[in-house]
Amino acid sequence: MGLLDAVLGAVTNNAQGSGGGALQDIIGMVQSNPQLLEAATSLLGNDGSAGGLSGLVDKFKQAGLGDVIGSWIGSGQNQPISGEQLGQVLGNDTLSGLAQRLGVNSGDVAGQLSNILPGLVDKLTPAGQAPAGGLGNAGDLMGALGSLLRG
């Protein structure tokens, strides 16, 4: 139950820190569109299109937002990110692919992911640093997080 509390705490802190919506709104996003969690894990998983967490960190650095993802991994407060900024990090091809899988437009998927990624990254890196071997593959992450959020 500790990981569930950690994930829900991360989502709560992210919602409060970014000024965006209540916890119920964010959990509602995932519940109404479970593929949103799959999209997030496809970015974070070692086998994902972004090259796992380390690849995502590199993309953030290239976009001049390394400090933002660094705050999610680190032990301090998570810096918010807008959907537009996340779109700049991920690029049009990645967003279009995710949007197609989710059945929404690219702007919507970027906005939704910007609400949940900071908290997920934060709690998946509890030691304040990215694990040397990454976070595992997307299927493992999806299974773990999905079962916790359903519970």
SS (H, E, C) 78-90: CCCCCHHHHHHHH
Length of the chain: 151
What does the pLDDT read at residue 20? 39
Q: Are 142 and 131 in contact (CB under 8 A)?
A: no
**What would the mean pLDDT of 24-28 be, rounded to a whole number?**
56
Name, in order, each residue with C-beta under 8 angstroms of 11's C-beta and a sequence gap of 6 or more: 23, 26, 27, 116, 119, 120
Which pLDDT band, with edges at 50, 70 and 90, does 48 fall under? confident
The Cα 149–Cα 151 span in angstroms is 5
Q: Which domains does the chain have, with CATH numbers?
A: 2-150 (1.10.10.690)
The Cα 31–Cα 63 span in angstroms is 31
What does the pLDDT read at residue 26? 53
What does the pLDDT read at residue 116? 86
Higher pLDDT, 126 or 67: 67
pLDDT exceeds 90 at position 68: yes
Among the ranges 30-39, 78-87, 91-100, which has the highest mean pLDDT value?
Answer: 78-87
What does the pLDDT read at residue 31? 66
pLDDT exceeds 80 at position 139: no
**What would the mean pLDDT of 5-24 be, rounded to a whole number?**
45
Which whole-number Å values give the CA distances from 144 to 3, 117, 139, in the listed order? Answer: 9, 16, 9
CA 83 to chain centre: 12
The Cα 54–Cα 33 span in angstroms is 26
Give the predicted TM-score (pTM) of the model.
0.75
